[in-house]
Amino acid sequence: NFLMESISPPEDTYIDDQNKEKVIYVGANLPLDLVARQLKPRPKLLYWFLYQVFTRKPEIYVKFPTTAVPPNSITDLHRIQFSLFVEFAEENGSGRNTDAASFTEVDRETPFMAFLKAALPHAGVQPENVRQMLESHRGSRIDSPVFARELAFVIEKFGRGTEEDAKEILDLYLRGLQNLYLAVSFAERSKKHTGILWDILVNYCTSPPAPDDAE
């Protein structure tokens, strides 16, 4: 609690676009970027710290109420936090969705998903780089649950909108997450490719399960 109460924006943050005045945080005297720099040699602790800032002080990290353009010091931290999310995926629960009960909690976001939704619009983390890294981390198996939901989100919101993208998203929901609800929801909102997606869904639901891939 003391640490979060003492965290302040970096020096280049919170310039009022109209009045060109800095917002002063009473009692806060630990610049966010300075603390992150001190924790850099301890990546696990840095991951914890940035996640605490993201969830408990979003107004100095992802919301920016007084400026339209986030400062470089913040977007640099977004890139660092993205890499840390990938590095610690197995520990923070973002990389896999192996809890069968979670298939019924379709609106529950992973911490990684929440971060991507908040950070990607600020352009510190580039969608094409996110997609490339997540696909690389997943490997060649479409039925892997690793980052399946996060990758589907990135492709849908920031992809090219092609039929190939739509099929990949559907496969991620059907075979990666094994979540029919999310697959149907995507097919319903994907107006451009709805015909082919529903054909795939019907075929998936009426075909016998495929044998597991050979080890």
pLDDT (tens digit per residue) in 120-138: 999 899 999 999 999 998 8
pLDDT (tens digit per residue) in 26-84: 445 789 999 999 999 999 999 999 999 999 999 889 987 666 678 899 999 999 999 99
As to burial, measured by CB atoms within 10 angstroms (0-12 exposed, 13-18 middle, 19+ buried), residue 131 is: middle
Full-model pTM: 0.81
CA atoms of 127 and 143, how far apart (whole Å):
22
Residues 39 and 18 sit within 8 Å (Cβ to Cβ):
no
Task: Name the amino acid, one letter, at 138.
Answer: R
The Cβ of residue 140 has, within 10 Å, a number of other Cβ atoms equal to 6
Torsion on CA atoms 12, 58, 98, 203, rounded to nearest 10: -90
CA distances, 55 to each of 45, 115, 124, 149, 164 (Å): 15, 9, 18, 20, 35
